[in-house]
């Protein structure tokens, strides 16, 4: 009886091992974008790590203190074209002339899942301090009001629903 039980266990083990060998390649390969997903994951990890480094007083700023009126948006667009478009592209898609030469791709502001990680105050802070592992340089030479004008313009690039989030309520 022991001998028969042992044979059944050995046969069952081979069957299970065979099934695992058949299933393992499917789990290991997943879909064809696996390498790209890991690359994005590293970039997203860097973005979330930076979020933890941003001082709380900037993380809680859910609105810009500068009204995104025509004057602010025009100034933001002017600065964007001078300082940002070379990497982020004219429309904010991350496809500027210098983008291909960068180790980490610049943010695509139109990818709202990606861009919504940071609120207006955090975007303002990043403009002045850079973002470390994501490769975004600091622009401390841009004065405070103009940084807010840039934030307003980037929010406008993302569409009207984001502009509403960036506005300060005045009562």
Please state, in angstroms and rounded to a whole number, the distance separating the CA atoms of residues 5 and 144.
79
Higher-pLDDT residue of 171, 48: 48
33-54 burial, b at 16+ Cβ within 10 Å, e below that, comes to eeeeeeeeeebeebbeebeeeb
CATH of region 38-166, choose from 3.40.250.10, 3.40.50.300, 1.10.1060.10, 1.10.760.10: 1.10.760.10
Q: What is the DSSP string of 24-73?
A: HHHHHH-STTHHHHHHHHHHHHHHHHHHHHS-HHHHT--S-SS---HHHH
Write out pLDDT tens, residues 96-108: 999 999 888 888 9
Q: Which whole number is the average pLDDT over 24-46?
A: 52
Query: Does residue 11 have a pLDDT over 80?
Result: no
**Over the chain, what is the mean pLDDT?**
78
What percentage of the chain reaches a pLDDT higher than 70?
68
Listed range (25-29, 71-75, 81-85, 88-92) with the worst mean pLDDT: 25-29
Measured CA distances, 73 to 146, 149, 151 (Å): 10, 6, 9
* Confidence at residue 26, expressed as pLDDT on a 0 to 100 scale: 42
Please state, in angstroms and rounded to a whole number, the distance separating the CA atoms of residues 118 and 151.
11
pTM of the model: 0.70
Higher-pLDDT residue of 120, 6: 120
Higher-pLDDT residue of 39, 137: 137
Going from N- to C-terminal start, the domains of the chain cover 38-166
Please state, in angstroms and rounded to a whole number, the distance separating the CA atoms of residues 132 and 125.
12
Model confidence at 28, pLDDT cuts 50, 70, 90, reads very low
Write out pLDDT tens, residues 156-166: 998 866 555 44
* Confidence at residue 45, expressed as pLDDT on a 0 to 100 scale: 83
* Confidence at residue 128, expressed as pLDDT on a 0 to 100 scale: 97
């Amino acid at each position: 009886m022991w001998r028969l039980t042992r044979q059944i266990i050995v046969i069952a083990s081979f069957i299970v091992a065979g099934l695992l060998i058949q299933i393992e390649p499917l789990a290991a390969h997943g879909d064809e974008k696996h390498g790209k997903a890991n690359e994005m994951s590293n970039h997203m990890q860097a973005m979330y790590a930076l979020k933890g480094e941003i001082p709380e007083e900037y993380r809680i700023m859910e609105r810009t203190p500068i009204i995104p009126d025509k004057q602010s948006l025009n100034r933001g667009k002017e600065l964007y074209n001078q300082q940002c478009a070379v990497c982020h592209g004219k429309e904010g898609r991350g496809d500027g002339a210098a983008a291909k030469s960068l180790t980490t791709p610049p943010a695509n502001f139109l990818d709202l899942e990606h861009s919504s990680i940071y609120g207006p105050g955090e975007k303002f802070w990043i403009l002045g301090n850079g973002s470390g592992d994501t490769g975004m340089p600091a622009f401390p030479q841009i004065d405070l009001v103009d940084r807010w004008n840039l934030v307003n313009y980037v929010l406008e690039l993302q569409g009207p629903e984001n502009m509403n989030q960036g506005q300060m309520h005045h009562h």
